[in-house]
Amino acid sequence: MSNEYTAANAAWREKLFMLMGRLSDTDMVRMAGGPGWTVGVALCHLAFWDHRASVLLKRWKAGGIADSPNDIDVVNDSILPFLKAIPPAEVRRLVREAAEGIDAEIDSLAPNFLVRVESDGKPVKLDRGKHREHHVAQIGKALDL
C-alpha cells in the first residue's frame, strides 16, 4: 500500500542511504551541528526518532491512538552520550533498519487510521522526509559535500 507520504519518505531515505555510503568512519566523528553533535550522532538521532515513530504507530494500531508528548530538546540532550557511544558500523545498521521500518509502517496504514494519526497522533510526523532532509543537509554542510 502507499499513501501521500510514500514518495517523499522513500526519496529522502535513499538520499540518506547514499550519503551514508559515502561516509568513512572518520567522517562519522566529525562535528555536525550543536555541541557534541557529530555526523554519527546526527544519523543516530534520525534512527532514534524513526524508531520511536514506528513503536508509537504499532502501539496505536494495537490499542488506539493516545497522546505521547515529550520535550524533544530534553530527549535529544538526554540520549546524546548514548548516541556518541555507538560505533559507525552500528550507526549505519540502525539508521537503515529504522528508516526502512518506519517507512514500511507508514505505507501500511489503512486510510482511516492514517487520517486519525494525522489529526490525533501528534507528535508522530508521517512525513519522515523533512527530518531526513534537514539532517542530510546538516551533514553535507559539516563535511563540505
Does residue 126 form part of some domain? yes
Span 40-88, pLDDT tens digits: 999 999 999 999 999 999 999 898 877 777 889 999 999 999 999 999 9
**What are 140's three cell numbers?**
553535507
Span 11-21, pLDDT tens digits: 999 999 999 99
Does residue 54 form part of some domain? yes
Does residue 127 form part of some domain? yes
Which pLDDT score, from 0 to 100, does residue 1 have?
80
Which pLDDT score, from 0 to 100, does residue 68 have?
77
The percentage of residues in the chain with a pLDDT greater than 90, rounded to a whole number, is 79
**Placement of cell 568512519 in the chain:** 25
Q: Which residue range(s) make up the domain with 110?
A: 6-142
| Number of domains the chain is built from | 1
Which pLDDT score, from 0 to 100, does residue 78 have?
95
Position 145 confidence tier, pLDDT thresholds 50, 70, 90: confident
DSSP, collapsed to helix, strand or coil, labels residue 125 as coil
Which pLDDT score, from 0 to 100, does residue 120 have?
83
Residue 34 CA: distances (Å) to CA of 37, 39, 89, 116:
5, 11, 23, 34
pTM summary value: 0.94
DSSP, collapsed to helix, strand or coil, labels residue 70 as coil
Does residue 122 form part of some domain? yes
Q: What is the CATH number of the domain that holds 112?
A: 1.20.120.450
Could you give the angle at which helices 111-120 and 39-63 cross, rounded to 10 degrees?
A: 120
Residue 74 CA: distances (Å) to CA of 6, 17, 119, 145:
30, 27, 25, 30
Does residue 24 form part of some domain? yes
Does residue 1 form part of some domain? no
